[in-house]
Amino acid sequence: MPDYKELYRILFQASTQAQQAMDAGEWLLARRILVKAQQLTEELYIAGEGQSDPEP
């Protein structure tokens, strides 16, 4: 099972960084930050799909 807390942390951090870049007028940097975070979290999600929760 994917670690949703980690995926959320990555996306939230990227969102914060992208907002800071936009505030500075760095629109292309903001886009790169968001795209990179999206790609990373997609890769982590796919990698975690094959994992199952430990049985009690």
- Residues 4-36: tens digit of each pLDDT: 999 999 999 999 999 999 999 999 999 999 999
Q: Does any domain span residue 31?
A: yes
Q: Kindly tell me if the per-residue pLDDT of 50 is higher than 90.
A: no
Q: Does any domain span residue 12?
A: yes
Q: Does any domain span residue 32?
A: yes
Q: Does any domain span residue 8?
A: yes
**Residue 11: is it exposed, middle or buried by C-beta count within 10 angstroms (0-12/13-18/19+)?**
middle
Q: Does any domain span residue 56?
A: no
Range of the domain at 13: 4-49
Domain count within the chain: 1
Q: Does any domain span residue 55?
A: no
What Cα–Cα distance (Å) separates residue 48 from each residue in 14, 28, 29, 43? 20, 30, 28, 9
